[in-house]
Structure 1
């Protein structure tokens, strides 16, 4: 489901941008598979259809579903309701409000929190919702740093903060932007790429490390801030 979610995002966005009729049916079928693979009770996804969910896989599926909506493809409302069921299952309580866990609320991490918060944004949760505000304050305590956290975390955190704008985005961007720009390789046959520096980068090598960082830097151009779309 991990790979399927990522591929479905690409397929739905390609259809939305090109309006190529040949892409509509494959994109819709990819979405239909995500819908059928959702866990019936818990509302999320994992590596295989129907498997007990984890938040890291859920995030890619909700981005695919959002891409489908923006391409005017069919996404059942009950599928999105199920995602909220999962987020409630892994959401921190009390002083940990706005934080999210991997498979439960006892495994809260910055990366899963950023992913959970982006899911909430894509589920049309208000910018003023206490979950988002508390979560943004939590992410602001773990800003991007060289050889700390992971590019996976930066990818989700950058989108969350960009959509929120304001001081949250300013703090995050002031930390993230120079870090990525200054770490890009500028000479030799690897010029333009980034060196893998964390456990997830190392699994996919230079290609994954570079792809994630390009996607992070595209946040300025690829999306409108969600809370300004209506304007």
Structure 2
């Protein structure tokens, strides 16, 4: 097993950014299962081997900043020293790529709020781990854009662009998790913004606890996992709505999203971890078997969105076995 340099607290020095220290969640004292370590290291080896010098990947969606952000999180989630460890060069390439794709004028990253949200979360997780002076101001500008987009949106939520007048649960969930990750990093995020975003999500929750896409109709496990993740990370686990949504996920532990399987697994792992340890352990065991069969000889996972996206999503769905990222704190 590769040795890791892991501290429970690190002090962030960021000039006038106003950011404070982040605290890493406690790793369980039990050893990482050999299967997890083998799968994870093979997956990271694939990402390192196929990353281009510019920091992205040359597959179907590997040039999207969101995919680079997910890959960055996958590297960080393994717990190695981000500046001197075995994946330091790949990590810094990811960070540079995201920063290069941020617009100076308004802080917008990429060309969609999906890109922006996942990259904002990746920057928040990297802050305090990665030695990059441009990270703090970039993170602050990215958060400001999310907040400004919400203020202009009649639903107090988000959709595909900062100017969108409508909203859906996938994009909104992405922005909420990014805001919660940034708040963990010390960025000032108004509680009112979190509450308004959660209120939109709640309007899309049906009586059975399932979440729909733009309304409470047509609920799906993937969307419900996003809603539960948001409430869990916001520390708002009380109430019948949360409980019903967890029950809905418990009834669908064997569900697999046919169109976005790794996107689903990414959120489902977090939703169950934030809500019920026993459910997470049961699902995690099934997920490890499922992903173990699908992992390719080169360490990647297949998918029509490109191997970088599939591999990052698969790795992040098992990364809670490590629990090194601040966002995984319960």
Category of TM-score, reference length = shorter chain: 0.7 to 0.9
For 1:132, the equivalent position in structure 2 comes to: 242
2:121 is equivalent to residue 9 of structure 1: yes
Q: 1:199: which partner in 2?
A: none
Tell me which residue corresponds to 2:86.
Answer: none
Q: Deviation of residue 224 (structure 1)?
A: 7.5
1:205 aligns with 2:306: yes
Aligned in 2, Cα 1:24/1:146: closer, same or farther, shift over 3 Å?
closer
Match of 1:110 in 2: 221
**1:214 to partner: Cα distance:** 1.1
* Aligned pairs, number: 215
Give TM-score, length-normalised by structure 2: 0.60
Give the Cα separation in 2 of the matches to 1:54 and 1:81: 16
Q: Between Structure 1 and Structure 2, which shows a larger proportion of helix residues?
A: 1
- In the alignment, does 2:223 pair up with 1:101? no
2:323 maps to which residue? 222
Q: 1:135 Cα deviation (Å)?
A: 1.5
CA distance in 2, matches of 1:131, 1:31: 28
Distance in 2 between the 1:163 and 1:225 partners? Answer: 13
Answer with 1 or 2: which has the greater Rg.
2
Is residue 299 of structure 2 the alignment partner of residue 185 of structure 1?
A: no
Is 1:68 paired with 2:68?
Answer: no
Q: Following the alignment from structure 2 to structure 1, what is the Cα–Cα distance between the partners of residues 131 and 191? A: 24
Q: Deviation digits for residues 140-180 of structure 1, max 9, x if unmatched?
A: 22224678572211111110111224321122122211111
Distance 1:224 1:132, change over 3 A: farther
- Distance of 1:227 and 1:206 partners within structure 2: 24
For 1:7 and 1:167, how far apart are their aligned partners in 2? 31
| RCO higher in structure (CA 8 A, sep ≥6) | 2
- 1:32 is aligned to 144
Pick from 22, 33, 42: which aligns with 2:134?
22
The alpha-carbon distance between structure 1 residues 215 and 227, as it changes in their structure 2 partners (threshold 3 A), is closer
Q: Distance in 1 between matches of 2:121 and 2:327?
A: 17
Structure 2 portions without partners, runs of 5+: 1-112
CA distance in 2, matches of 1:86, 1:121: 16
**CA-CA distance at 1:226 after TM superposition:** 8.2
Cα pair distance change 1:72/1:110, threshold 3 Å:
same
* TM-score, normalised with respect to structure 1: 0.84
1:42 corresponds, among 155, 164, 167, to 155
List gaps (5 residues or longer) in structure 1. 197-201
Instruction: Report deviation, 1:82.
Output: 1.2
Q: Which secondary structure does the structure 2 equivalent of 1:17 belong to?
A: coil
CA deviation map 1:71-125 (0-9, x unaligned): 10111222112112211221112xx1x2111000012111111101111112221
